[in-house]
């Protein structure tokens, strides 16, 4: 007897499955809700998170609100106000359109929607438990829509267990809102976690103000505008000058028609323009808006809409690349770094522990550094095919273990999106030319002959092949940083107790942050205890600080905490505290140094693991080769 096994899923089950595609964590739920709020023409959007959004998250807007009928309908699958027919899919100008998000989210959470259009007296509140409507009632609420999600995934334990720790979920959620906030500067965003405000954008319509609020003032100050237009394709936005870089791609933001997207194509275009300007394994900071006719882009590639397909991707790649390059040229950035010793070491502070102590990276002139990825053992198939070559290079630079690495962006992008022919294969011209093995940089450093100090900021030294300019502050910072890190890893940082404890009084926000991070501070050698209100008492300090203005240093560190970009602020601060410690303790630009001090500093620098970059990622040494000088003086 045949049994009918196949049945059509009920809506609720279908929604839960769809939820798996759209909503994977609080961050994606927040993103959906905020996008809805933006589409509702809100000018103020407040996001509140509890436990990183796992316990509760709500998005409140002052947009146009929904009538009762719409409120109920919007919770139905494929109910949307944004498109009506399939043709509209190719003319999408709103952020959302599929009508999947709300029912999906509602099916896996305890969901409350309240909404009131401006022209109506009262609003509607709908409570949904795991996709089932519990109640629909009339309530008195302010104009706009509020969506609240409690206990996300409470009924799908399989998904629940994939949620990460609160700081990690929080940082993703905040990042997601941050990306939208940057794209919508005219909307005042506020993000709160518990009682603390994570960031708030002014809503003035100024992109820089929004970026400054979401990332930091320091970054916003470093940004230069980019612009490029061709036909109906317009690229604009901001990039940071190449001296400010990031260890990952967290600060490469792309928007297509206002929608935040991830695009290997655009990433490649950006990084290609920056190639040889940023140190290896450091990534540029950029906010790039691509405005393109909706015809030419398909956003319906992926359920979360984070990926797009361009119909003429070569053109888009070129436009982004051009916009970035011409900005770099216009701001005079390109020529000045021609002969920089570019570091090849990734600045990976988190993995210092695992790194072999003798790890060594070759300093290379620019054109070689550009090809540096080829030296890496990257797990991409592209590199596999080049194995013979990397073996050869390895043989040449034998003894130096290449650092651990991720697949290079350029390579990945190349495979996947096959960008236009403007891309040069990094292997072709430069890399095959194998040069005599340069001396280890540490050894070179020992050969530096200090000539003097310029502007009490730079140490000028003679090298066997040219003239080196060393930034004294960053050099010292590197030395101190490694010292602090080594200490931290071994047996703790020696602390000196204070005879006269220092009491410091902070602003509310600073106090909150400091209170949250007391443990990180304590790991770095500070004994700080709350002293009532916004006051703290400092009872012991890192012993290395005994001859420094430790109170000022502490205040600076707290300031930096406050101004940190959100993602870093929320992550474990240990390294950051160490870096800041090192930075504040180091000699400053403007401190006169004696010859002995300068020699000593270079010796100490030679002993560090990574004498190329300061912990913030700035270069330490810049050299001018005699060869280049000779050329400039027309000495054949």
Where does this chain bind another protein (CB under 8 A)?
Answer: 486-487, 490-500, 502, 522, 540, 542-544, 546-552
Report the nearest approach of another protein to the CB of residue 572 (Å): 18
Distance in angstroms (rounded) separating the CA atoms of residues 160 and 154: 7
Rank residues 369 and 605 by Cβ distance to another protein and give the closer one.
605
Rank residues 206 and 551 by Cβ distance to another protein and give the closer one.
551
Rank residues 338 and 497 by Cβ distance to another protein and give the closer one.
497
Read off the tokens for 227. 């612009």
Distance in angstroms (rounded) separating the CA atoms of residues 344 and 342: 6
According to DSSP, residue 343 is labeled: -
CB atoms inside a 10 Å sphere around CB 322? 19
**For 406, phi and psi rounded to 5 degrees?**
-100, 160
Distance in angstroms (rounded) separating the CA atoms of residues 566 and 190: 13
- 446, 611 contact by CB (below 8 A): no
Report the nearest approach of another protein to the CB of residue 356 (Å): 17
- 362, 397 contact by CB (below 8 A): yes
Report the nearest approach of another protein to the CB of residue 538 (Å): 10
Rank residues 167 and 356 by Cβ distance to another protein and give the closer one.
356
Rank residues 415 and 519 by Cβ distance to another protein and give the closer one.
519
**Cα dist from 153 to 104, 111, 162, 243, whole Å:** 11, 11, 10, 43
Distance in angstroms (rounded) separating the CA atoms of residues 625 and 622: 10
Rank residues 160 and 498 by Cβ distance to another protein and give the closer one.
498
Rank residues 270 and 495 by Cβ distance to another protein and give the closer one.
495
Read off the tokens for 512. 């909150």
- 200, 191 contact by CB (below 8 A): yes
Rank residues 167 and 492 by Cβ distance to another protein and give the closer one.
492
Distance in angstroms (rounded) separating the CA atoms of residues 153 and 108: 5
Rank residues 500 and 636 by Cβ distance to another protein and give the closer one.
500
**CA 69 to chain centroid:** 41
Report the nearest approach of another protein to the CB of residue 363 (Å): 25
Burial class (CB in 10 A: 0-12, 13-18, 19+), 581: buried
Report the nearest approach of another protein to the CB of residue 511 (Å): 20
Report the nearest approach of another protein to the CB of residue 520 (Å): 13
Read off the tokens for 542. 């890192």
Burial class (CB in 10 A: 0-12, 13-18, 19+), 140: exposed
Rank residues 452 and 492 by Cβ distance to another protein and give the closer one.
492
Report the nearest approach of another protein to the CB of residue 549 (Å): 4
Distance in angstroms (rounded) separating the CA atoms of residues 113 and 25: 19
Rank residues 330 and 543 by Cβ distance to another protein and give the closer one.
543
CA geometry: angle 15, 18, 19, nearest 5 deg: 85
According to DSSP, residue 349 is labeled: G
Report the nearest approach of another protein to the CB of residue 451 (Å): 23
Report the nearest approach of another protein to the CB of residue 600 (Å): 14
- 265, 419 contact by CB (below 8 A): yes
Kindly give the residue spans of alpha helices, DSSP state H, lying in 74-151.
101-107
Q: Which of 168, 129, 166, 169 is nearest to 149 (CA)?
A: 129
3-state secondary structure 430-492: HHCCCCCCCCCHHHHHHHCEEEEEECCCEEEEEECCEEEEEEHHHHHHHHHHHHHHHHHHCCC
Report the nearest approach of another protein to the CB of residue 522 (Å): 7
Helix (H) or strand (E) holding 323: helix 313-330
Rank residues 4 and 490 by Cβ distance to another protein and give the closer one.
490
Report the nearest approach of another protein to the CB of residue 539 (Å): 9
Report the nearest approach of another protein to the CB of residue 498 (Å): 5
- 333, 57 contact by CB (below 8 A): no
Rank residues 509 and 539 by Cβ distance to another protein and give the closer one.
539
According to DSSP, residue 427 is labeled: I
Report the nearest approach of another protein to the CB of residue 454 (Å): 18
Rank residues 194 and 501 by Cβ distance to another protein and give the closer one.
501
Report the nearest approach of another protein to the CB of residue 499 (Å): 5
CA geometry: angle 198, 163, 24, nearest 5 deg: 90
- 42, 186 contact by CB (below 8 A): no
């Amino acid at each position: 007897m045949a049994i009918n096994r196949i049945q059509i899923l009920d809506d609720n089950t279908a929604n839960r499955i769809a939820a798996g595609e759209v909503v994977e964590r609080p961050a994606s739920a927040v993103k959906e809700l905020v996008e809805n709020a933006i589409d509702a023409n809100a000018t103020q959007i407040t996001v509140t998170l509890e436990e990183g959004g796992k316990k509760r998250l709500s998005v409140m807007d002052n947009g146009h609100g929904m009538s009762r009928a719409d409120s109920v309908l919007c919770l139905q699958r494929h109910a949307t106000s944004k498109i009506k027919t399939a043709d509209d899919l190719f003319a999408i100008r709103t952020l959302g359109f599929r009508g999947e998000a709300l029912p999906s989210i509602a099916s896996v959470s305890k969901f409350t929607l309240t909404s009131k259009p401006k022209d109506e007296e009262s609003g509607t509140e709908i409570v949904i438990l795991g996709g089932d409507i519990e109640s629909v009632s009339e309530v008195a609420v302010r104009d706009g829509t509020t969506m609240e999600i409690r206990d996300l995934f409470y009924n799908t334990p399989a998904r629940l267990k994939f949620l990460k720790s609160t700081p990690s979920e929080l940082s993703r959620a905040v990042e997601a809102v941050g990306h939208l906030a940057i794209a919508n500067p005219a909307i005042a965003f506020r993000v709160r976690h518990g009682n603390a405000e994570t960031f708030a954008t002014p809503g003035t319509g100024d992109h820089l103000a929004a970026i400054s609020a979401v990332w930091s003032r320091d970054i916003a100050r470093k940004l230069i505008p980019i612009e490029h237009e061709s036909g109906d394709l317009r690229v604009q936005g901001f990039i940071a000058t190449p001296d400010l870089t990031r260890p990952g791609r967290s600060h490469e933001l792309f928007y297509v028609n206002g929608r935040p997207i991830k695009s290997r194509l655009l990433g490649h275009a950006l990084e290609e323009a920056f190639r040889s300007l940023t140190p290896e394994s450091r990534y540029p900071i950029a906010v790039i808006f691509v405005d393109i006719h909706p015809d030419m882009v398909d956003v319906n590639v992926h359920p979360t809409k984070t990926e797009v397909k361009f119909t003429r991707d070569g053109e888009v790649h070129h436009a982004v690349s051009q916009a970035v390059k011409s900005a770099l040229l216009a701001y005079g950035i390109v020529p000045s770094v021609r002969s920089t010793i570019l570091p090849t070491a990734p600045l990976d502070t988190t993995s210092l522990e695992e790194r072999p102590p003798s790890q060594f990276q070759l300093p290379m002139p620019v054109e070689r550094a550009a090809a540096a990825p080829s030296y890496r053992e990257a797990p991409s198939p592209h590199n596999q095919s080049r194995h013979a070559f990397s073996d050869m290079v390895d043989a040449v630079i034998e003894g130096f273990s290449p650092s651990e690495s991720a697949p290079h962006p350029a390579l990945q992008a190349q495979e996947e999106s096959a960008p236009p022919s403007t891309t040069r294969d990094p292997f072709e011209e430069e890399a095959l030319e194998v040069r005599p093995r340069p001396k280890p940089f540490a050894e070179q450093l020992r050969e530096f002959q200090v000539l003097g100090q310029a502007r009490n900021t730079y140490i000028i030294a003679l090298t066997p092949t040219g003239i080196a300019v060393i930034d004294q502050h960053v050099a010292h910072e590197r030395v101190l940083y490694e010292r602090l890190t080594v200490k931290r890893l071994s047996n703790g940082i020696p602390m000196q107790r204070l005879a006269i404890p220092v009491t410091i009084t902070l602003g509310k926000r600073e106090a909150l942050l400091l209170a949250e991070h007391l443990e990180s501070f304590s790991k770095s050698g500070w004994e700080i205890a709350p002293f009532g209100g916004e006051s703290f008492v400092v009872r012991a300090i890192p012993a290395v600080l005994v001859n420094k203005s430790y109170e000022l240093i502490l205040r600076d560190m707290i300031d930096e905490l406050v101004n940190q970009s959100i993602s870093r602020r929320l992550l474990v601060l240990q390294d950051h505290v160490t870096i800041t410690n090192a930075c504040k303790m180091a000699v400053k630009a403007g401190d006169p140094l004696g010859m002995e001090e300068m020699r000593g500093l270079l010796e100490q620098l030679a002993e560090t693991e990574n004498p190329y970059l300061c912990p913030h990622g700035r270069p330490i040494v810049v050299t001018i080769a005699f060869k280049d000088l000779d050329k400039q003086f027309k000495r054949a």
